[in-house]
Amino acid sequence: MTELTELVGSWMRRQRWYSTKNVEPRLRLLASFDAEPAAGDVRIVTHFFADDAPRTPRVYQVPVVARTERDGDEAALIGEAGGRFLYDGPTEEAYVTALVQLMTGEERAEGRDAHAQGHTLGERIALRSSRRLTGEQSNTSIVGELADGRRALIKVFRVVQDGENPDVSTLAALTAGGSRRTPSLLGWLTGRWPTADGRTASGELALMQDFVPGAEDGWELAVSAAERGEDFTERAYQLGGGTAELHRLMAQVLPTTRATTEDVARALDGMFRRLTVTTTEVPEVEELRAGIAAVYEDAAAAPLPTLQRIHGDLHLGQVLYSLERGWQFIDFEGEPLRPLAERALPDATMRDVAGMLRSFDYVAGSLARRDTPIDAAGWAGDARQSYLDGYASVAGGEVEEFRLLLDAFELDKAVYEIAYEARHRPAWIPIPLSAVQRLLASRVS
């Protein structure tokens, strides 16, 4: 399998979802399983590779369609091995058809040291055609045209981890609970494979949900409105109300728990660690440290919230707007930098609210950094307030009751953003830095 490993390693480095940038992959083939070929001389195999290049090895899922003839998409060609031409599975209809059959038929695929099992909340689904989307980051997304005329979004997880993926478990619970604020989950695939250190892992490999017709990306919609000076307060109000509706249903269909002093201490420790990192990397934050620390300490001494499942990485890029369905919430994987085991843990709803407030701020910040700057600070301020008003229209006095916690979460998010921008886009540091200054000033006034 050396030839296959070398081919995949060379190809993987060029993929947007390869998570260790500017590093040459060092792959080991761990396991594989076969899916039934759709037709003709085609073999469909899903491989699991350990990448030992990063400090903590990662495991990648690499579905491959192997053909004896070179007749696939050249852009998806991985290479030639064993007399067959290997193509990236998600670009191939044969693979997508087999994947949908596995998921919604609740079928099982067996292989060498690995297997997969399909699951569905509904009926078996037949695929008519498919096309891969090109804007993926950590996963690969595919739009499938179904035999009954509907469309579905299929997501293949590239980095796979041991444990529950909240993108599946959250959406499954919300779908079963009758959510109107999320696409319905149609099916998913779980698997079992060896880990990089020789243990056995199990978790989700792919999911399929219904496609939201005529949907616009929330970030693009907001940026477009802000650059034209269009009023966005009504849509922000609806988004706030939708967020509260989502949180309410999550609390009904998934576990909740009352926060303890240990939870508070753990959260506080994380905030102070991020603050220390940021002040080390961006000295300007040092003079703000005392004020930031005071907000954190005040939040820790305030009333404790009920913890529940939340989105975990909520911002304008994680919502869609549809004239037919209104605001829809997507991508429940949580914060990508957190370990998978932590992402499904109950958390405070104000963390999601803080994430969306920061996103509105970034709309204005990005426009201010254009070649011809646009001042959208007032637009962002109005949108932020309308979002909070919308949230309160459903959640009642929750925002005011936990305002200290919301301030702490928003400051923590901005502090993290300062460190991120310092490493990747130094010219953007003023966006989160000015937010920290504004939040601290509002506490004084």
Give the chain's mean pLDDT.
94
pLDDT band for position 1 (cuts 50, 70, 90)? low
Domains, the chain, in order of start with CATH, read: 2-210 (no CATH), 216-444 (3.90.1200.10)
Instruction: Tell me how far the alpha carbon of residue 166 is from its chain's centroid.
Output: 10
Report, as an integer, the average pLDDT of 201-217: 95
Q: In which residue are the tokens 């990485």 written?
A: 313
Contact 21, 30 (CB under 8 A): no
pLDDT, one tens digit per residue, over 78-136 is 999 988 999 999 999 999 999 999 999 889 999 989 999 999 988 889 899 999 988 76
pLDDT of 339 strictly over 90: no
pLDDT, one tens digit per residue, over 282-295 is 999 999 999 999 99
Q: Is 168 exposed, middle or buried (0-12, 13-18, 19+ CB in 10 A)?
A: buried
pLDDT band for position 380 (cuts 50, 70, 90)? very high
Cα–Cα distance, 1 to 397 (Å, whole number): 61
Cα–Cα distance, 152 to 99 (Å, whole number): 13
Q: What is the pLDDT of residue 39?
A: 57
Start-to-end CA distance of the chain, whole Å, equals 67
Amino acid at site 427: A
What tokens appear for 258 in the block?
A: 């009352």
Q: What is the pLDDT of residue 73?
A: 85
Pairing of strands 127-132, 139-146: antiparallel
Q: Is 432 exposed, middle or buried (0-12, 13-18, 19+ CB in 10 A)?
A: buried
Cα–Cα distance, 339 to 347 (Å, whole number): 15
What tokens appear for 292 in the block?
A: 């930031």
pLDDT band for position 395 (cuts 50, 70, 90)? very high
pLDDT, one tens digit per residue, over 139-184 is 999 999 999 999 999 999 999 999 999 999 999 999 999 999 999 9
Q: What percent of the chain clears pLDDT 70, i.e. is strictly above it?
A: 98
Cα–Cα distance, 220 to 226 (Å, whole number): 10
Nearest to 358 by CA among 433, 278, 293, 423: 433
pLDDT of 411 strictly over 90: yes
Find residue 329's DSSP bridge partners.
Answer: 319
pLDDT of 45 strictly over 80: yes
Q: In which residue are the tokens 């958390």 written?
A: 347
